[in-house]
Structure 1
Amino acid sequence: MLVRSDDPKRTAERLKPVVEALAAADIHAEVVEFDDDHPDDWRRNLEKASGVLVWADPLTDRGPRSTLDAQLTEIALAGTWVSAHPGVIRKIGTKDVLVTTRGLPWGTDSFAYPTPDIFREFFPDRLAKHGTLVVKGDRGNGGRTVWKITLLEPHRAPPAAAPTATVMVQHARLRDDTHTVTTLGQFMTDRSQIYTAGAGSGHLVDQPYEAGIAEGLIRCYVVRSTVVGFALQGASDSDASPAGHDSRKPAVLGVPAPKTMVPSDQPEFRALRHRLEDEWIPAMRSLLDIAPDQLPVLWDIDLIQATSNAPELTGFVPGFVLCEINASSVIPFPPEAPSALASAVAEILSS
C-alpha cells in the first residue's frame, strides 16, 4: 500500500481498517510512504509484493505525482498488479472526465482547453454564454485548482466578454465566500501556471456553475463496479445560499470536509445506486474503453443534485451533475468499504 500526501503518516493511520481487512482475507499488507526526495526507495519492497494499492494525491505541496505515475506504469508493464493504474486515472480520475462523459445523463456543457491559446480564444465566449463558470485544473484535490468566475457585466457580454470585463473570482479551497474582483484578462493570465504544471501536461476544463452545490455533494463510493456506500457532504445552514440567490454576489464556494457516511442499502439511495451500477458506470466504461477488471478497487463519484425539491415518488432519481471522479486517493471511506476492497483484492490475486 503506497501513500503520497502532504501528511503521509496521518494517511497511513487512516488506512488501518484496510490493512486489517486485508489481513482477515489472508493478505499481508504494508503501508509504504513515497518520498519525493528519494523516489526509488519504495521499490525495494516490490520483490515480495503481489500488487500495489495506491493512495497518492494528484497534487501535494511537492507538486504533481508525475514521477510516481511513470514508475507505476513501468512496474505494471513488468507484470505487477497496480490499482489504480495511472492510465485508468487519466481516463476517469482527472477533470477531463467532465468533458469525455458529458453525453451521459450526469453530463453538462463542459469544455476542455488543452492549450493556453485555446483557453484565450474560447473562454471569453463561454463565459459570456453562461455568465458563471467553474474552471478546474485537469488534476487537483482539495479545491487547489478550482475557481468560480462570474461575469459582473452581463449586459455587455455578447458575443464575447472583453479582456477588460469585470469578473468576480472565488477559490474553492477556501470553502467560504472570500472573493476577488478583477478583469477577465487578469484572471486568464493568472491561470497560465496550470499549463506549466506536470512537465507542461496540465490544462484547464470548465463546466457551468450548478447552484445545487450550495446544498452539498453526494459522494458515491465504488469497489470495482459495485457501490459500497455514500457520503453526504453539505454546507451548513449558515453557508447555504438562500432561494433566488444572485450568482453575481459571493456565496460559499466549496463544501465542508466532514462527511456523513450512509450505507449502500439505504432506501432513499436505492434508485441512485441502481442507476450507477446498471446504467451510468457501464456506459462510462464503454465510452472510455475500460474493461471491468481495469476499474480501481476503490474510487468515488461526486455528484451535485441538480433538481431541487424533487417529488416524493418511489424510485424517483432527481437530476445529477458530475462534479468529479476520485481515483487517486479515496479517503475517508465508508466502514463497509475495507471488507469489500479486501474481497476484490483476494479475487484479483487468485485469478
Structure 2
Amino acid sequence: FIEMAEVCAANNPTCNLVNATLTANILAAYAFPPSRPCFFPGFDCTSAERDLLFGNLSGLRQISNNPKGSIIVFGARGGSDKSVGSEHRSDTIPICNSLIDLGWAAVPVFYSDAAHDLILKHSHELDGYISRVNPDIYPGFTNSHFDELLLKLSQLGLASMPHPTLMQRFGSKDALAKIKALRTGLPDTHAYYDVAEFRAGFQASLALGPRVLKQNRGSQGEGIWIVRVKNESLYRTLPTLPLDTLVHLTEAVDNHEEERTLGDFMAFAEQYLTDEGSIRGQVIDQAFMPRIAEGEVRVMFVGDQPVEIVHKKPREGGVSATLKSGATYTKFTPSDPAFARLMASFVKRDLAQLLPALGLEGHQLPLLWTADFILGDPRPP
C-alpha cells in the first residue's frame, strides 16, 4: 500500500510530493507569517496545540532527522470507527509508521474546527496529506469546513490523497444515481435536489414498491430509511400515493422502527435537502434490495487493485449491515472464489467506466477507497 503511494507520488503530477514542496512553501510563506514549526521537525508547538492536533501518539515510530518529505494523516476525534482504547482508527498509526519506515516524516492529525486555522498556518511544513476521516458526526467538526480546508491545502500545492474533488464525488450519495447504468449499478435510482422534485418523485416511486431513502452524509446508516407502505395491497394500484398513506419505516443505523403518514415522513426528510457549505443537499431514492438480509459486501481498493473483501451480515431479522446495529463482519481475499463474479463484473468491466460516470475524467482513482455491494436479482454472466 505505502509503496504504491510512493509510485503515485512519483508518477502523477497531481500528487507529486517533490514538486509540490516548493509551491507549498512559497504560497504558505505569503499567506501566513513565519512561526516556529508545529508539525515537523519535532512537533515544536505549545502543549495546547499538541493536544489539539495530535492527542496520544503512542506507538508512532521515531522520525528520521532528514526525511524525504512530510505527510500528515487526517483523522477526527470520536465516532464509531476507532480502535478500542485508542483515539485513532486502527490503521492510522500503522500508515504513519509505514511511511516513516520508507524515510518520510508522518504523523496523525485530528481535524476540528478549532484546529482549522492552526493547520493552515503550519501548512508550509507539509508536502502532502492522507485523509482517513470516515463520514460521520464528530464533536466540533463541520464537514464542509473540513472539505474547504482540504481544498485550500491542495491549492497551496500539497499532494492530496485523495484530491478533494474525488472525495466529494465519491462520498456524495448521488454517485449512486450517476453510476446506475453500470453493470453493478441499480437502474431504479433517483436523486432529488429540491422539495418539489422530491415530493413528486418519491410519491410515485413508493407506489411501485418498498424504497430506500438516503441522505447525502454518513456511512453508518444514519438518515438511511427503508420505507414500506403498511397496506401492501396499495402497491401498483395508484400512479402516486396520497400523503395520508401510512408507511412503516426502519432506520439502518440501528434497525429502529417507526410508523408515520407519508406526508409526515417526507416533511421530516426535507431537512436532507439543505445545503451544507459547498455540499449540495440531496436525497437518494432507490428500490429496496431484499437480499440485504444475506449481507453487504465491501471491497477495499488501493488505486485500481482490490486488496480486501468484507462480508457484512446483518443480525437476524435486521436490514442494517453496520457494526452498531449488531452486524457481523467476515474478511476474505479478493481471490476468494465466492466473489469471482463480483470481481469480474466490477473490477474487469465497470471500473474503467467509474471515473467518467462521476465526471472525473483525467483523474486517477483515490489512493485508498471502498465500494459496497448488495446482492440483486440473478442475471446472465
Tell me if TM exceeds 0.5: yes
- Unaligned runs of 5+ residues in structure 2 are 1-72
User: Could you tell me which residue of structure 1 aligns to residue 114 of structure 2?
Assistant: 37
CA contact (8 A) 1:162 1:184 kept: yes
Q: Which residue does 1:223 correspond to in 2?
A: 302
TM-score (norm 1): 0.77
| In structure 1, C-alpha distance between the alignment counterparts of 2:99 and 2:361, rounded to whole Å | 24
- CA deviations on 1:65-107 (whole Å, 9 max, x unpaired) are 1011112112212221112222112222221111001001112
- Provide closer, same or farther for how the CA distance between residues 301 and 187 of structure 1 changes in structure 2, counting only shifts above 3 A: same
Contact 1:172 1:254 (8 Å CA) reproduced = yes
Written as runs of structure 1 = structure 2, the 5 A alignment for 1:62-211 is: 62=139, 64-108=142-186, 109-129=188-208, 131-156=209-234, 157-174=237-254, 176=255, 178-196=256-274, 198-199=276-277, 201-211=280-290
Match of 2:376 among 306, 310, 313: 306
Question: Is the Cα contact below 8 Å between 1:224 and 1:293 reproduced in 2?
Answer: no
Whichever residue aligns with residue 239 of structure 2, its letter is P
Judging changes above 3 Å, is the alpha-carbon distance between structure 1 residues 263 and 45 closer, same or farther for their aligned structure 2 residues?
farther
Is the deviation greater in 184-193 or in 199-208? 199-208
- Deviations 1:231-288, CA, capped at 9 Å, x for gaps: 111124xx14xxxxxxxxxxx2212424222122323334433433321111112322
Partner of 1:27: 104
Question: For 1:255, which of 321, 324, 340 is the aligned residue?
Answer: 321
Contact 1:146–1:173, Cα closer than 8 Å, also in 2: yes
Partner Cα separation in structure 1 for residue 100 and residue 339 of structure 2? 31
* Structure 1 unpaired stretches of 5+: 241-251, 311-315, 318-351
Residues 78 and 87 in structure 2, CA contact (< 8 A), matched pair in contact too? no
- State the structure with more CA Rg: 2
TM-align CA RMSD: 2.3
Q: Distance in 2 between the 1:296 and 1:286 partners?
A: 14
* CA distance 1:91–1:263, shift in 2 (3 Å): same
* Whole-angstrom CA distance in 2 between matches of 1:217 and 1:20: 31
- Residue in structure 1 matching 2:136, options 59, 80, 84: 59
Give me the whole-angstrom Cα distance separating, in 2, the residues matched to 1:162 and 1:214: 30
SS in 1 for 2:181: coil
Count of matched residue positions in the alignment of Structure 1 and Structure 2: 295
Q: Report SS of the residue matched to 1:56.
A: coil
SS at 2:94 equivalent: helix
Q: Percent identity?
A: 23
Which sits farther off after the overlay, 142-151 or 192-201?
192-201
- Choose between structure 1 and 2 for higher RCO, CA contacts under 8 A separated by at least 6 residues: 1
Task: Please state whether the residue corresponding to 2:172 is helix, strand or coil.
Answer: coil
| Cα deviation code 1:39-77 (max 9, x no counterpart) | 222234422322110122333144651011112112212
Cα 1:66–1:256, aligned 2, differ >3 Å: closer, same or farther? closer
Q: Which amino acid aligns with 2:74?
A: L
CA distance in 2, matches of 1:232, 1:103: 24
**Displaced runs of 4 or more, over 3 A:** 61-64, 154-157
1:181, distance to aligned residue in structure 2 (A): 1.1
1:109-150 Cα distance to aligned partner (Å, 9 max, x none) = 100110112111221011102x21000012222111201110
2:348 maps to 1:278: yes
